[in-house]
A and B are shown apart, each in its own frame.
Chain A
Amino acid sequence: MLTKRIIPCLDVKNGKVVKGVQFDNHEDVGEITDLAYKYSKDNADELVFYDISASTKNEVVETAWVKKVADKINIPFCVAGGIKNIRVAEAILNLGADKISINTPAIENPKLITELAKEFGSQCVVVGIDSYFKNQQYNVYSKTGDPTTRTKSNKLTYSWIKEVQDRGAGEIVLNCMNQDGVRNGYDIKQLLDARRIARVPLIASGGAGNMDHFYDVFKSCNVDGALAASVFHKNEVEIEALKNNLFNRGIRVRT
């Protein structure tokens, strides 16, 4: 049986791994390759690197580190941030990334999803969705890497999930912004509704603060993976211990 994935997310800004509270006030947490290597040794199933500086500043993701990561680890990894066209995606994949993830460029140009899927296969194309709950609605936000550029798009979260999978996305990372960085647990209600729609792998993001939160999101929402950053970077949850904990409670994970 396919196992549930534990995915540390490394937010990259100016070549360093950072993490802030609800996307703001970023603080440095370490070197990219050191952390990547550490997590792969700790039995992480996959890594995601978000270059949060690239998407908001109209810059292309700075790619030198992608090759360094590919040389250093032998588990899959995904690169996100500033990937606006096929050419940039191809460069990143050729450096050894397994997937590319698009967020703001998908909102601005939904056809890009289809073009990427056609060129590289759906299994390479992840769409990240930043979703914020306000006035009884889940809305998709763009340019969320920087609080000064964060913009509410014209898309509603659930219809956007349907659209991106119809356009050929091979995976969806649903980041529940109300939860991000506050560590009160994943947004079970939103992820459960998303799961009822998603026929592609669905990855939960935003809100992990302890091991129970991972258990809850797998048990309640049947997501395919759970993504988290600060709990891992600050050594509050160790991946190996987490996977043993989940395994002992009946969640199928690779131990």
Chain B
Amino acid sequence: MIGVVDYGGANHTSVVNAVDNLGFDYFISDNKKSLDDAEKIILPGVGAAPNVMQQLQNKGLDSYLKLSEKPILGICIGMQIMYETSSEGNTDGLSIFDGKVKKFKPRTDQPVPHMGWNEVRFDKTYSDLNGYYYFANSYYADVSEQTTAISSYGDKFSAMTSIKNFTGVQFHPEKSGSLGYEFLQRFLSS
């Protein structure tokens, strides 16, 4: 069973569709007891950092997720809140990953949000899935020792960050066509 975390009123449809289309059983929950039954947990990629963290704190899910030993995948905002802080609303994150999330500086030759298909290069486990993935983000994290995939927009940024059982991806695998589905399939079945 895959547990998809409910931040409250947010749109999980895309990620739930993907999990369902790939043939995995899933449930959507904001409840610690229910999430105990999940083999893997997904933090979907919708919402803004302050609201998402507030929702997690209200349900006591912030410490629950941080202490969890289950494989956890955070997508987009779900990745960003795993860092120490985000400049989006000056929000404290879960401090699972080292570093801070900051905003791209908008320019006419480099518009923000960073929106569309960008090249992702993975370092090992997923390196056969290098290619183009869909992004829609105004905020990003720098490449660090925990970075496991790189993309670039002006400068390089962390497209995937991993430590222990935690994985965060800045792109949207659920919206990245067949390659994105292969990525999800591998995460969910590994």
Binding site for B on A (CB under 8 A): 1-5, 40, 45-46, 67, 70-71, 74-76, 90, 93-96, 98, 120-123, 170-171, 195-202, 222, 224-225, 254
Contact = CB atoms under 8 A, between A and B. Distances in A.
B106 interface: yes
B128 interface: no
A171 B67 CA distance: 38
A93 B11 CA distance: 6
Interface of B: 9, 11, 13-14, 17-18, 21, 46-48, 106-109, 111-119, 132, 134-138, 152-153, 172, 174-178, 180-181
Nearest to B47: A121
A2 B14 contact: no
A255 to B, nearest CB: 9
Q: B interface, by DSSP: helix, strand, loop or mixed?
A: mixed
Contact of B112 (A98, A120, A200): A200
B110 to A, nearest CB: 9
A50 B177 CA distance: 22
Contacts, number: 100
Contact of B13 (A2, A96, A121): A96
A92 to B, nearest CB: 9
B134 A76 contact: yes
A76 B172 CA distance: 10
25 contacts: A1-B119, A2-B118, A2-B153, A3-B117, A3-B118, A3-B132, A40-B177, A46-B116, A74-B177, A76-B175, A93-B11, A98-B136, A121-B138, A123-B113, A123-B115, A123-B136, A123-B137, A196-B108, A198-B111, A199-B111, A201-B113, A201-B115, A224-B111, A254-B117, A254-B132
B115 A224 contact: yes
Contacts of B108: 195-199
Nearest to B18: A74
B132 A70 contact: no
